Amino acid sequence: MGHKSFYFFYFVGGLFILLVGPHLFADGMFLDGVTYAAISNNLAEGLGSFWKLYYTATLYPEFYEHPPLALWLEGYLHFVFGSSIYVERCYSFFTAILTGLMIVLIWRQLGQAWKLAWVPLLLWLLFPKVSWSYSNNMLENTMGVFLCASVFFYLKSLTERRALYILLASFALIFGFLSKGLVAFFILSAPLWFWAIMHKETWSRAFIDIGAIFMGFVGFLALLFWIVPDSLNGLGMYFQFQVLHSLSDVITVNNRFRIIKDFFNESIINFVILIIGIGVFYIKSKSLLVFKPYLRTAVAFIALGLSGVIPIMISMKQSSYYIVPAFPFFAMGYSILLVPVASQVYKYIMDREAFTRALRIIALSLCIGALGFTVYKSQTFGRDEAKLTMIYQFSKSIPPRTIIDMEPELKEDWGLHAYFMRYGSVSLDAKSFPQRTFYLCRNSEVMTNSTYLQVDESNGYYLFKRQ
């Protein structure tokens, strides 16, 4: 691969920084991402443990809503580098880099050219929820790394050292499960699709491989439960509070097909590229036979991606970011289908010095501009400016690990709970206790003639201190 080929990778890298960096490194984050950062930072500060995570003193002091691995990994970075908000941002950024690396490794394992490895990376980034997820520190980011690794190891097992790579695929699945839970199991369908569509192996070997990966998973859990008894309680509580609860009690969508709609909405840009690319190729060549050698592999990966989407319909608790770990496989399928088109585009640009020079200028300018814009945005608020300004200001008066009372109307402002814990190590409680020093409210009139004295005010929030 010539050095000129790297301009395509520079372009994709610059696009990645532009889509993710400014939002990720600006202050403020989606509620779930702040929550995970708070829990991870708590671990680094000695609050909670691997199997008994700690959120706040009043809200999930024992947090079992998700398995702990991703939060522990992020917490380890906080332990090493401190409690800065940029630690969780760098962790999220790093998971994106690792996922991109795994996409390239899968591409190469399929026998595709290095010079076109930027294609699946580009199509992966063009799913809008991908950049959103990495900008908001979601658990899907960590799980996605392990699931891509599992598929890569399984593909390796088809050509060499079968037992070793099946074992590694199983371990990667285990780590994916311990990062986000049962949604990781869709990756078990990979041998089935590779047999049924790609004809990579016999049906008997496909089912033996599925069984081997699953039994490796079960064996590891059994060993874990035996060696670390707390793990059985931790995962048992996860199943009780998260899995069973979401299947029976939690409703966030009007119908089960909402996730399918979300998938199509996310795929619009890629669908347009596929239609235009294949359409233009057909108009020029008057034939689509050149796509035939790529069709089986493309369909197998698209089927694998759908395996990560369709099962979510079981629950009425759905969100579009749940399917982010499936997007690398859709991108792989779409990219393989576009290999003839991408090869022609690559050759057309590389054969023309003016086009190559233009690509170099655009790619390097995009990288430099995206980095500069990210640095600029890191000094600004991306969201929740009023709330964050207030918390920065009030935290100067409130010692860490304090529980403060708040008016009942603020009880379900979950962002307030998350930000106070992440930025000030402060817990909030709508129940008032006489031994507590501080009171937070938005209506200062309710505190008139009380035993509290107003000590601070910011953006409509008032902080009172017991006299």
- For the chain, the first-to-last Cα distance in angstroms comes to 72
Q: How far apart are CA 404 and CA 415, in angstroms?
A: 16
Burial 398-407 (b: 16+ CB within 10 A, else e): beeebbbbbb
Residue of 125, 96, 101, 93 lying closest to 334 (CA atoms) = 125
Q: Left, alpha or beta for 47 (phi > 0: left; psi -120 to 50: alpha)?
A: beta
The full length of the chain comes to 467
Q: Which residues fall within 8 angstroms of residue 398, CB to CB, at 6 or more apart?
A: 404, 424, 426, 438, 463
Let me know: does 116 contact 346? Beta carbons within 8 Å: yes
Supply the DSSP string of 349-385, one letter for each residue: HHT-HHHHHHHHHHHHHHHHHHHHHHHHHTTSBSS-H
Could you give the residue ranges of the DSSP H alpha helices within 228-257?
229-238, 245-248
Give the pLDDT of the chain (467 residues) as one tens digit per residue.
Answer: 556 778 999 999 999 999 999 999 999 999 999 999 999 999 999 999 999 999 999 999 999 999 999 999 999 999 999 999 999 999 999 999 999 999 999 999 999 999 999 999 999 999 999 999 999 999 999 999 999 999 999 999 888 888 899 999 999 999 999 999 999 999 999 888 888 777 666 677 778 888 888 898 899 999 999 999 999 999 999 988 888 777 766 667 778 889 999 999 999 999 999 999 999 888 887 778 888 888 999 999 999 999 999 988 888 778 889 999 999 999 999 999 999 999 998 888 888 889 899 999 999 999 999 999 999 999 999 999 999 999 999 999 999 999 999 999 999 999 999 999 999 999 999 987 888 899 999 887 767 667 888 899 999 999 999 88
pTM for the full model? 0.94
